[in-house]
Structure 1
Amino acid sequence: MWTYETDLMEHDKPYGGGDMRIHGRSVIVFKPIGPEITFKKMTEEERKHPEKYNSVVTEPWMNDSSERLNRHTVRLLRGDMDKGIYRIFEKPGQNGAWWLSPDWQTIYVSTDWTNYHLPNGPDGYGQRQHTLWKSTDGGQSWRQLQWPEHTQPGQPLFMADGKRGYLVADGMRIWRTLDGGEHWQEIALPSWANQQLTGHPSGNGLLPMVKDSRATFSAYDLADDGALRVAFYVRKAKLAPGIGEVTESTLLYRLPLSASLDELARKWMQPEIVLPQQSVMDIKVSRDGNLNLIALQGKLQSEKVAETQQRQAAYVQWKDGKESYRHVFDAHVVPGALFIGPQNQLVLAGESLEPKQTTSDSITLVSTDQGRSWDETSDGMAYAWYYEGERNRIWKYQLQSLYWRELK
């Protein structure tokens, strides 16, 4: 089923995957990763009795968990399948995000670095520093954009020109730029939007939250027409006349790129969609303007209640202002990202987790009939996964090797 293509990143240590893009023979990988830990060679006598001798690291800092965390970096590698790939960017950071233009020339990278040798800050999250970087020559040179170091920039999302776009960050914060990141406008959300409902990526319960800080959007997407869509769950909200009070619902909004800040401030009272008792996990717009949603069904449990059963996932098609179709996935499906192929195929990356399983398996689900039926295929272990829409092909990186398979 899988075709071996080449070995990749075998010289980039420590080994690991990341977020991968492929075009033709070209490859670029976004790779947040920890430092390489090395061990002293054992003597011949020690090798005879490994149970008596513990492995000894080569440098003292390698035994310090805070120091190891502090040495995590955000890395970008670029090259091709024939000559290999090499690092084009590396900065300190335990987390980060990136955006790549369709012509592979403009790249934005945000970093998130916490100093683990310092006590937590006043919000309980540690003392964090953030940077925002940009390249307009495919990563050959980089420039740090002006950005407040204690404010998380989050995920860059841009139009194809690389100049008009957004940053979407934790804390329910959004910024907009029209000049390639030289200046940013913050799009303010109402206070009732931040209701401490950050869902765990697995769909089970909530991540630990500190009161009044860092709730997140459950999903967001930038369409080709420049409209940013964001979704978040609320326990209770009183909206515009005709909608009224809603409870235990996801609110999904469409924010036009051309709208003024005053217009956007009024948008929050009038969501595009209200979805009772479900959490939207991904949003994609079809070429015909229909919305394709991946949602977890059921009420989101209180942060004081641990969910014992995963909420079941569903694909939801929204057309002409109303739900037109819903497909509920089998209980073992843990959804990831949704993609739309060149002939409007729907491709869902996900994981399979049965009730008695302790670890999940990577799976791909494909629909060629607008979401009415889905073919599921196990991808085995994958350190990186990418859907190449141009060739309707899936790539995976596993054990330093790159593989592909075509979808039917």
Structure 2
Amino acid sequence: MWERISNDFMKEDTPYGPGDFRMRGEQILSMKLTNPEITLKSRDEWSDPNRAEPTAEWMGKPGESANRRTVRILAGSLEEGVERRFEEPAQQADWWLSPDWNTLYLATAWMDYHMNPAPGERYTPQLTQLFKSTDQGESWEKLRWPEDQNISTFRFLDAQRGYLIGWGPHVWRTEDGGEHWKEIPVPSTARDPENERKRFDLVALGQDNVLRMTFFDQARGESVIYALPWGETEPHFEVAVGDYGVNDIAANEQGEVYILARKGRPTSLMPKEQLVHHPTSIWHWNDDRLTELHEFDSNLVGYALYITPEEGLLFDGVNEGSLLGKDVTAVSYDGGADWRIEDEGRSAQGGYYDTRTG
């Protein structure tokens, strides 16, 4: 059962949007990427009576607007609303929040949209910064990090131990709260000499403390999953899932792995019109055998898979069978064979799911 708890969640922070939020009781923390606010002159100030004009010249220039995007850390409660605790120029960002809500890591990425790539270079430089807070975002420390090394994703076990994943792809590991980082070698087939900003299709950290990375291996012609248990020096091949794109992975403490995948190569490698009849499936890997547990109707496209506190499986996705699409959740309590699907209607896409509390 679902109960609505707010009709104006995060409405007071403009521009409107909840960001990548977390909730604990009435408390809220959120990482929010924002565009600058655009305001318009009053009608009698327009030089063309049929065309609205922004109040500042830069507001009409996409590059100027992009350069003014920021990331915010917001904190507060459902009852009293939220306040900004941190703001930094960024067009991309990711964060991690510790289970006790004390430690936050934040990575920001910003590039100057007025610049062109340097001679002989394919890309405009992107500047990366890494920040840390140990008091729920009240104060922040900028950690040492090379600005030219992109950070796209955090995957942490606790406040001291975790991974950063960036373009290349690259993986780094820390054991001392971000003071020092060691780069982990990645499979050579995960990289593309023609694309220095290539990413993994997915990186997931299971309850078994194993980091799993998936990508479409061009040489094999199928998606593969590599595993990196904590403390090991390089990932090892775990399983191939064939002609599927992996959308999510969830693993329990015993190392049983559940894979959410869609028939056909990853969407980045396929035109959208070719995905119409490519169903989403749930697979199970137990370190010995890969088994397809359930295939959903082709209209159901899953984007997230979770293990509930009662060891059930929760599928979050979209029913694309109608013109506007509908959001759905599905729950299985028999290991993925049978699923109860709930139609949530429009605009009910999940923000996050707390696997400790449900």
Task: Give the TM-score normalised by structure 2.
Answer: 0.90
Q: Is the 8 A contact 2:327 2:344 kept in 1?
A: yes
Matching residue of 1:125: 123
- 1:151-200 Cα deviation digits (max 9, x unpaired): 1022111112x11110012221100111111111111224332148xxxx
Tell me the CA shift for residue 82 of structure 1.
1.4
- Cα separation, 1, equivalents of 2:94 and 2:176: 20
Please name the residue that 2:306 is paired with.
339
Q: What SS does structure 1 have at the residue aligned with 2:64?
A: helix
Q: Specify the SS of the correspondent of 1:308.
A: helix
Return structure 1 stretches of 4+ with deviation > 6 angstroms.
none
Structure 1 counterpart of 2:134: 136
Whether 1:69 aligns to 2:34 is no
| Cα distance in structure 2, aligned partners of 1:65 and 1:300 | 31
How far off is 1:299 after superposition? 4.2
The equivalent of 2:34 in structure 1 is 33
SS of alignment partner, residue 66 of structure 2: helix
Say if 1:251 and 1:273, in contact at 8 Å, map to a contact too.
yes
- The answer on 1:257 being equivalent to 2:258 is no
Aligned with residue 115 of structure 1, among 90, 106, 112: 112
Match of 2:19 in 1: 18
Secondary structure of the 1:192 match is helix
Contact 2:211 2:228 (C-alpha < 8 Å) held by counterparts: yes
Deviation per CA, 1:208-231, whole angstroms, max 9, x where unpaired?
Answer: xxx232221112222344321111
Whole-Å separation in 1 of the counterparts to 2:114 and 2:348? 33
In 2, Cα distance between equivalents of 1:31 and 1:119? 27
How many pairs does the alignment contain? Answer: 352
Q: Structure 2: which 5+ runs fail to align?
A: none
Tell me how far apart the structure 1 counterparts of residues 137 and 7 of structure 2 sit (CA, whole Å).
23
* Cα RMSD, aligned residues only: 2.4
Equivalent in 267, 271, 274 of residue 309 of structure 1: 274
Q: Which amino acid aligns with 2:214?
A: A
2:245 counterpart (279, 283, 299): 279
Question: Are the aligned partners of 1:17 and 1:383 in contact in 2 as well (CA < 8 Å)?
Answer: no
Decide whether the 8 Å contact of 2:285 with 2:291 is kept in 1. yes
Shift of 1:353: 1.9
Please give the secondary structure, in 2, of the residue aligned with 1:62: helix
- Show the 5 A alignment for 1:38-49: 38-43=39-44
1:219 corresponds to 2:217 = no
Please, which of 315, 329, 333 is the counterpart of residue 348 of structure 1?
Answer: 315
- 1:297 is the counterpart of 2:263: yes
Task: Work out the CA distance in 1 between the residues paired with 2:6 and 2:356.
Answer: 18
Distance in 2 separating the partners of 1:302 and 1:142: 36
1:319 equivalent among 271, 286, 300: 286
Structure 2 letter corresponding to 1:371: G
* Unaligned 5+ runs, structure 1: 197-210, 237-246, 393-408
Q: Separation in 1 of the partners of 2:300 and 2:342?
A: 10
Taking the aligned partners of 1:59 and 1:368, their CA distance within structure 2 comes to 56
Structure 1, residues 17-52: CA drift from partner, whole Å, max 9, x if none? 321211111111111111111112234x99xxxx95
- Cα drift, residue 124 of structure 1: 3.0
One-letter amino acid of the counterpart of residue 296, structure 1: R
